[in-house]
Amino acid sequence: MVRRVLPAGLLLLVTGCLDQESLPLVQPNPFNSTPSAVTAHVACSPASEEAATRVGVIGQKLITANERLAVRPLFRTVGSPTPEIFHRGTSEILITEGLVKQCTTDAQLAAVLSQELGKMVSEREAGAGALARNPDRGPPPHMAIGNDVGAGRPADMTYLAEQAPYDNDRRRAMAPPPPPDPKVLARDVLVKAGYAPGDLDAAAPLLRSAAENRTIEKQFSTASPVRPWSQ
């Protein structure tokens, strides 16, 4: 069979000006075998190199200064004029070029990215469940001492003192603590990266404006998986 290859210029005219991006997805596999490749196609305009570089540099600065968060998302810039920012699990933070341009200073952009990082970590902690955030532990072993051997009670108050933290843990497990506040996390991320705490408040109007837009986020979340062509 003879295959015809289209010239690059003609191919561009066929596909259009939008960048068709392939995002790898992994299907649940209960048998722990190699998952089959699945691709979700999402059409989005490419961002300018300047905006993408700016986001990447500041995002990396935040992650490097906050390794304790145990997340290393990829910071991606989408070429849309509408201000919008969202994250996908703990793997990606996506921000539009429109929102990047509205951040007139690096401190504002850092605050916007920090807020999304705070949401990401808070959601991860909430999903981890009460056991992960407040692990239960068994009571200390009871050993009778001295003349009280066989009497069924300890010789002093040591055992009661060791038992108290266990009892407290059990009470807390009945009402697990809420996940951390995203704003508190974001402020801490900013400070550790060398920015001022007030930068988050200064970026609040930008964050409110971005929160009103979810067009691109919905496009990513509703993209139907498409299997690649078999060879």
57 against 156, higher pLDDT: 57
State mean pLDDT over 184-194.
97
- Dihedral angle over CA of 51, 87, 113, 63, nearest 10: -100
Show me where the domains of the chain are located. 42-131+179-226
CATH of 42-131+179-226, one of 3.30.2010.10, 3.30.1360.120, 3.30.70.260, 3.40.1010.10: 3.30.2010.10
The H or E element that residue 88 is part of is: strand 85-88
Q: Which residues pair with 74 in a beta bridge?
A: 92
The angle at the Cα of 150, spanning 149 to 153, to the nearest 5 degrees, equals 75
When pLDDT is averaged across residues 128-154 and rounded to a whole number, the result is 54
- pLDDT reported for residue 76: 95
Determine how β-strand 74-78 pairs with β-strand 38-44.
unpaired
State the pTM of this model. 0.64
